[in-house]
Structure 1
Amino acid sequence: MTEQHGVNVSGGLSLKAQLYGLLVTLLALAFASALYTSIEGVRAYQAKQLASHAQDAAHNLGLAISPHLDEPGLVLAETMASAIFDSGYYKQIQFTDAEGAVRFSRVHENSELNVPGWFQSWFPLYAPQMQSEVANGWIPGGTLTVQSHVGQAYEALWQSAKGLALNTLWLLVAAMLIGYLILRAVLSPLSALKGQALAVMRKEFHQVRRRPFTLELRALVNAFNQMVSNTERSFSEQANYAKQLSEQLYVDGLTGLPNRQALLMQFEPQREDALLHNDSLQLGLIRLPSLADVNQTDGYTGGDQYLLRCIDIVQQHLTALSDVRLYRLSGSELAILCRLDSDDLLQLNKKLTSEFAAQSTDIYPQGFAQVYFTQVKDKEPFADTISRLDTLHLTQTDVTAETRQDGTTEGHSRQYWRGVLKQYTAVTQTGLPIETESQFEHLSTSLAKHFELMLQPILGKDGDIIYSESLVRFNWQQAGLSTAATFSMAERLNLGPALERAVLCFVLSQLRHHPEHRIGINLSNVFVNDRMHQQWLLTLLKTLKGQLPPLVFEIKESALINQESRIRDLIQNLKEVGALVTIEHFGAHLSSFQSIGNLDIDYVKIDGSFIRSLNQHNNIFFVQSLTQICHAVGVKVLACHVESATTARQCMQLHIDGIQGRGFADTTSINECFKNFIYSDTPTGLELRNKFLS
């Protein structure tokens, strides 16, 4: 059964099947009735012929034997009767004299007929006994009784029935073919309309090109096409407007980079996420000290080229890194917000410093560019972090000292990480599909002591729990490990996909014990962009079919960039196994508004930076636009990082469908959640909601 937000689109009998079934039934009944009537008419004719044939034979034979009644033994009369009887058309010929004595009799014994028994029982034939008075002159001589044999009549009736059945069958086939063509012409537009409606449910907008000849259906097709066209146009206009608004508010016009306002919005959500995952968050500052000199010597065009050249160099080094983003703070300053381990950060700083030094020539009297990084402290505001970066610039402090001091992988050698990751990925390194439950049990048992599954609910407007998002924390020797550092080192050791598979196996193994509650699972871009990994996941889901709770897979908005076709195939495959799909961090990249109109997704989760900044009028208007865009195509909207009752009320006023945040429900171990019925039923969710809002 296929469902789309509770709309059942299958499970009944189609109109096509009903009409074709009705057509076949009516035609079959009509032609069967006609065939039966025709055969019955032939049977009645044959029965009449049997009586007439016997009566004629009785008269004629009686006249023939009447002159010979005086002969002793009626030898000649009996001979004539035998001659007629031997023709096989008669069952009985008998002559009884005036005193009632039988003078001669011929009776045909029962014989097999070349006619099926069922046919004889359905269409019985009875041959009556016909009599004729025979006189010898004026003296009554006796009575001659003649009965025809039904064998010839049955054979004639059977042959007629076969001919009638064949003709009726041809007529039935011809009538069905004509009826099929007529119904096909009528139902084809309805089938096209059904496909159009299902496509709209999948966020696809298609026009029905073929116009039916039936006036009512033509009007219906035109109305549907107009409705779909209006929906598509409305969605496109809203998406374009939201894109323009986002570019005005959060994008630098010259470079196309997110501006200072975007960085301010992203700073706190990134800091909270880093804390949640035991990661470290770093902020980098890139200064172009020679920009003023270049503007004076080469004009503002030369200064713009200088800035764009620096951005191009930085982007080349950031492409291979995840969770790293470049911003433009002001005319001569760029910022990098990232979540890297100390080794990756040092390597990035070293490469950028070396590249900037190589670019320094006489054209840039103050040097090409300078880069500084600092680690963001817990609950530290943006102003304090940027102030510390300015101090690093003024004192020319090297990044190495600070990152070594604050690095999260302090004391963890490459050999240490190799041992940790070897344990984590011992069974999933091969990438072979898990096709049996015994394989899965062995894997989940080995991972349970190293991973911990946490849940955080997403509450609906009415207090219902839409689903709970899952989070995996890494443990080693009773100590927590940084999520970013773990994945970063796994990538360096070529174990990134294996670690992803291990995490998914662990999550699914834990969820098998709680099959009644909908759970969300994050998919990394590694899985989203690789078909081999996708197939591995789909095989695992099919292996565990019937043992898992309803699932929601969360895909990052960044995965949509230049991968829309591949994402569409993945979403379709996930839908086939009964899962729902969420696009998270929606709006962060400011370029995917049109994409959701082409993807069969169920939810979008607005990036937390917009939710945290709902106190600003521009952000309220922007979030409202995003919500309207999604609702226009039937996608539900979720808000994360809801930390206050004021923000929750604003979300409800903006018609956001679900809220998530540490303000009313923090992440909790899955065992604690279901042990105490936390985050698992509507009454609890309603209590959380009311308590939070009060």
Structure 2
Amino acid sequence: MSLLRRLWVSVVVAMGVVLAGSFGVSLLTARGYFEQQLSAQAGDGAVSLALSMSQQSKDVATLELLIAALFDGGHFRMIRFTDPAGKVLIERVQPDVADGVPDWLPALLPLNARPGQALVSDGWRQVGQVTVEAAHGYAHRSLWRGCLQLGSLMLAIGLFWAVAVSMLMGWVRRPLDEMAEQAEAIGGGQFRVLEEPRVLELRSMARALNRMSERVRTLFAEQAGRIESLRDEGSHDAGTGLLNRAAFNGELRRVLSDPDVPPGGCIAVLRIADLAGLNQKLGRVRTDEWLASVASTLQRSLEAGDDMALGRLGGAEFGVLVPGLGLGEGRALLERACGAVAALDLKIDDTLRLKLDAAAVAYRRDDTPGDVLARVDSALMRAEVEGGIVAEPGGSPLPIPAPGEGGWREMLEGALARHDFALAGYPVLDREGRLVHREYMLRLPVEGAVLTAGQFMPAAVRVGLAAACDLEAIRLGVDLLAASAEPVAINVAPRSLTEAGFLDKLDMLLAIAGPNAARLSIEVSERGLDASLAGLESLVEVLSRHGAHLGIEHFGRQLAALPRLYALRLAYLKLDGSFVVALHENEGHRRLVKAIVDVARGLEVVVYAEQVHCAEEWAAASLLGVGGMTGPEASRRQLAG
């Protein structure tokens, strides 16, 4: 029983005791009053009768008439006339009945009224004695009515008091509940501030909780800021704020091995020649400032999106990586960037001419990072000799002839109608190599080949069928849950969460899964989420109704969103593969991963690492507290096990 309920019961019991005591005292007082009245009535009747009998003839008939007249006209239960020797000469008695009074009342509250007595005389001679007892019935009736009236009043007062105490307890309990909710919210990463209650004793407690909420909010913000600083320190160039060479190479490795991104794209490098001459003419400080201006100009001219990576590869060499971009579009983008950089005013003399060398190379998923970088370097050397921009084509990223927009629509709609899609699974293992869950991605068999999600999903987005493809993947995942006991994770595009009807259809699919839905995780990529995490709250409501889980993949950009993600009951997050590249060799990335794991552990969120390629990266991630791994190394270990 809660403290407030005990207090409420104590107050009500105390009030009940007070009212019961008041009721008892009132009844006893009323009984005493009625006993006095009955005694007075009996005494007055005896005196009056004795006086009448003393003045009349003393024959028995006359005396009997006088007694009968008093007995019939008054409320008496007995009148007796005795001679001086005590012999009863005349006696009139009637039963004392209290109509409408329960039998227990006279037994519980008997009226002990004294009988009235008076002497009858004939001159100076005593003739006898009159004894009169008043009837108790009407007194008991009056006492019973008084009990009912007083009891009703006491009951009304008691009920009113109980209601008043309940309202008072509710008034006191409301700020207590709000403070309890605030404490729960702090644990859930929501830092609310309460209005201080009017209850004086609770005001200091609410003030302390508000201070704690603000303090925890500040600590989380400071921790997120330190993590972002570690991320920038380990993966960004200090002078320009762009990705450093290691981080850029990590992004390249990720897009070449991640089946969830477009299978082809363009990588371009822009080099400003004679950096030493610039240093000599401008000085180191002004040259660094100019390079920072070049970086800002490149960012503005390239309009970098979520999937584009822009980095400083060293000196005055800048790299651009754009998954899904064709070589022609890449060349146009590079020309725009070169024009913007060339337009910068160096404010130096005319003896130093700015020379830009640029090269663009197309890649496809089958390529290795070393081969792609070697081809870029070779194309850049040609650009230094030939001048201008060199563009080197690569193989087609599609195993089939590329259809137009209409062809894509027809192909995807037909595949959805025929349920041609299939799922490809990739294991997620814990540090000891045990299966955590199997992550499935959508595949489309067509013309003897199999298209990955990265190959057909951009077209699905363009023709408005991305949400339908995600629902098909979930439908296939529900079928897998029924056929296997393994936990399943399905990727969903963030833009699908805001599509009309998507969540309703997801709800129906999870209802079909029944209890198996507890083994299903829906993963959303951080790359497509905006700062407000649009759609996630509604998704979590649907998932929680069926016991399913939410995971975030490719995590690493929105570090400050961790507390808000925890408030959405996030089950796990997968650390972006670019932070795992050569983790055993990169001290900056190790500090960053350790900080993310520590914050996530404090929020009870499990961290997994994506794109783990080798045993050294696996060991490094395990030492840092990462809960599980996915990628080529995880697949090798499962096959070996």
TM-score using structure 1 length: 0.70
Corresponding position: 1:648 with 2:618:
yes
AA aligned to 1:474 is L
Aligned partners of 2:43 and 2:116 also within 8 Å: yes
> What is the alpha-carbon distance in structure 2 between the residues aligned to residue 127 and residue 304 of structure 1?
108
User: Which of residues 251, 265, 278 in structure 2 aligns to 1:266?
Assistant: 251
> What is the alpha-carbon distance in structure 2 between the residues aligned to residue 410 and residue 228 of structure 1?
59
CA gap 1:112/1:213 in 2 versus in 1, 3 angstroms: closer
User: Which of residues 240, 243, 263 in structure 2 aligns to 1:280?
Assistant: 263
| Residue 150 of structure 2: aligned partner | 160
How high is the sequence identity, in percent, across the aligned residues? Answer: 16
SS in 2 for 1:494: coil
AA aligned to 1:62 is A
> What is the alpha-carbon distance in structure 1 between the residues aligned to residue 436 and residue 343 of structure 2?
61
RMSD: 4.8
SS in 2 for 1:582: strand
Aligned partners of 1:278 and 1:481 also within 8 Å: no
Aligned partners of 1:288 and 1:368 also within 8 Å: yes
> What is the alpha-carbon distance in structure 2 between the residues aligned to residue 234 and residue 161 of structure 1?
62
Displacement of 1:192 in angstroms is 5.8
AA aligned to 2:369 is F
> What is the alpha-carbon distance in structure 1 between the residues aligned to residue 279 and residue 635 of structure 2?
56
Question: After superposition, what is the alpha-carbon deviation per residue over 1:158-190, rounded to whole angstroms, capped at 9, x for unaligned?
Answer: 333444445556666666666766x56xx84x5
| Residue 474 of structure 1: aligned partner | 444
CA gap 1:660/1:48 in 2 versus in 1, 3 angstroms: same
| Residue 603 of structure 1: aligned partner | 572
| Residue 412 of structure 2: aligned partner | 421
> What is the alpha-carbon distance in structure 2 between the residues aligned to residue 624 and residue 307 of structure 1?
30
AA aligned to 1:194 is A
> What is the alpha-carbon distance in structure 1 between the residues aligned to residue 309 and residue 478 of structure 2?
32
Corresponding position: 1:199 with 2:185:
yes
Displacement of 1:422 in angstroms is 0.9
Corresponding position: 1:451 with 2:422:
yes
Displacement of 1:22 in angstroms is 1.8
Question: After superposition, what is the alpha-carbon deviation per residue over 1:328-387, rounded to whole angstroms, capped at 9, x for unaligned?
Answer: 4345654443443xxx52563464377579989999999977553332463x54222222
Q: Which runs of 5+ in 2 are unaligned?
A: 346-352
Moved more, 201-210 or 256-265: 201-210
> What is the alpha-carbon distance in structure 2 between the residues aligned to residue 146 and residue 361 of structure 1?
127
CA gap 1:161/1:654 in 2 versus in 1, 3 angstroms: same
| Residue 233 of structure 2: aligned partner | 248
| Residue 401 of structure 2: aligned partner | 410
> What is the alpha-carbon distance in structure 1 between the residues aligned to residue 341 and residue 14 of structure 2?
95
| Residue 333 of structure 2: aligned partner | 352
Displacement of 1:55 in angstroms is 3.6
Corresponding position: 1:27 with 2:11:
yes
SS in 1 for 2:59: coil
Corresponding position: 1:373 with 2:354:
no
> What is the alpha-carbon distance in structure 2 between the residues aligned to residue 585 and residue 147 of structure 1?
98
> What is the alpha-carbon distance in structure 2 between the residues aligned to residue 122 and residue 586 of structure 1?
85
Alignment of 1:139-158 (within 5 A): 139-140=127-128, 144-149=132-137, 150-158=140-148
CA gap 1:581/1:495 in 2 versus in 1, 3 angstroms: closer
User: Which of residues 593, 606, 628 in structure 1 aligns to 2:559?
Assistant: 593
Displacement of 1:135 in angstroms is 6.0
CA gap 1:453/1:43 in 2 versus in 1, 3 angstroms: farther
Question: After superposition, what is the alpha-carbon deviation per residue over 1:618-640, rounded to whole angstroms, capped at 9, x for unaligned?
Answer: 23333223333434555432223
CA gap 1:112/1:666 in 2 versus in 1, 3 angstroms: farther
SS in 2 for 1:564: coil
> What is the alpha-carbon distance in structure 2 between the residues aligned to residue 122 and residue 543 of structure 1?
70
Aligned partners of 2:359 and 2:379 also within 8 Å: no
Displacement of 1:487 in angstroms is 0.8
SS in 2 for 1:499: helix
Moved more, 491-500 or 463-472: 463-472
Aligned partners of 2:38 and 2:136 also within 8 Å: yes
| Residue 301 of structure 2: aligned partner | 313
CA gap 1:70/1:643 in 2 versus in 1, 3 angstroms: farther
| Residue 350 of structure 2: aligned partner | none
> What is the alpha-carbon distance in structure 2 between the residues aligned to residue 400 and residue 645 of structure 1?
35
SS in 1 for 2:518: coil
> What is the alpha-carbon distance in structure 2 between the residues aligned to residue 362 and residue 603 of structure 1?
47
Displacement of 1:613 in angstroms is 1.0
Aligned partners of 1:418 and 1:493 also within 8 Å: yes
Alignment of 1:105-124 (within 5 A): 105-106=93-94, 111-112=99-100, 124=108
> What is the alpha-carbon distance in structure 1 between the residues aligned to residue 262 and residue 142 of structure 2?
101
AA aligned to 1:147 is A
CA gap 1:661/1:333 in 2 versus in 1, 3 angstroms: same
Aligned partners of 2:430 and 2:628 also within 8 Å: yes
> What is the alpha-carbon distance in structure 1 between the residues aligned to residue 10 and residue 332 of structure 2?
82
Alignment of 1:530-541 (within 5 A): 530=498, 532=500, 535-536=503-504, 539-540=507-508
Aligned partners of 1:203 and 1:598 also within 8 Å: yes
SS in 2 for 1:475: strand
> What is the alpha-carbon distance in structure 1 between the residues aligned to residue 463 and residue 427 of structure 2?
31
SS in 1 for 2:237: coil
SS in 2 for 1:375: strand
SS in 1 for 2:428: strand
| Residue 349 of structure 2: aligned partner | none
Alignment of 1:270-669 (within 5 A): 270-274=255-259, 280-287=263-270, 309-315=297-303, 319=305, 323-331=307-315, 333-340=317-324, 345=326, 348-349=329-330, 351-352=332-333, 370-376=358-364, 378=366, 380-392=367-379, 394=382, 402-404=394-396, 407-410=398-401, 412=403, 414=405, 416-425=407-416, 447=419, 449-452=420-423, 454=425, 456-459=427-430, 466-476=436-446, 479-508=449-478, 510-511=480-481, 519-527=488-496, 530=498, 532=500, 535-536=503-504, 539-540=507-508, 547=515, 548-560=517-529, 562-564=530-532, 566=534, 569=537, 573=541, 577=545, 580-587=549-556, 589=557, 592-600=558-566, 601-618=570-587, 619-665=589-635
CA gap 1:101/1:370 in 2 versus in 1, 3 angstroms: farther
Question: After superposition, what is the alpha-carbon deviation per residue over 1:48-67, rounded to whole angstroms, capped at 9, x for unaligned?
Answer: 44444444433333333341
Alignment of 1:54-69 (within 5 A): 54-66=38-50, 67=53
> What is the alpha-carbon distance in structure 1 between the residues aligned to residue 408 and residue 522 of structure 2?
29
AA aligned to 1:594 is A
Q: Which runs of 5+ in 1 are unaligned?
A: 1-12, 427-445, 668-687
SS in 1 for 2:329: helix
Q: How many aligned positions are there?
A: 603
AA aligned to 1:159 is Q
AA aligned to 1:373 is V
> What is the alpha-carbon distance in structure 2 between the residues aligned to residue 172 and residue 362 of structure 1?
83
Displacement of 1:584 in angstroms is 2.5
CA gap 1:262/1:226 in 2 versus in 1, 3 angstroms: same
> What is the alpha-carbon distance in structure 2 between the residues aligned to residue 273 and residue 565 of structure 1?
24
> What is the alpha-carbon distance in structure 1 between the residues aligned to residue 271 and residue 315 of structure 2?
9
Question: After superposition, what is the alpha-carbon deviation per residue over 1:429-486, rounded to whole angstroms, capped at 9, x for unaligned?
Answer: xxxxxxxxxxxxxxxxx64x5232635234266x776544333333347742221221
TM-score using structure 2 length: 0.75
| Residue 432 of structure 1: aligned partner | none
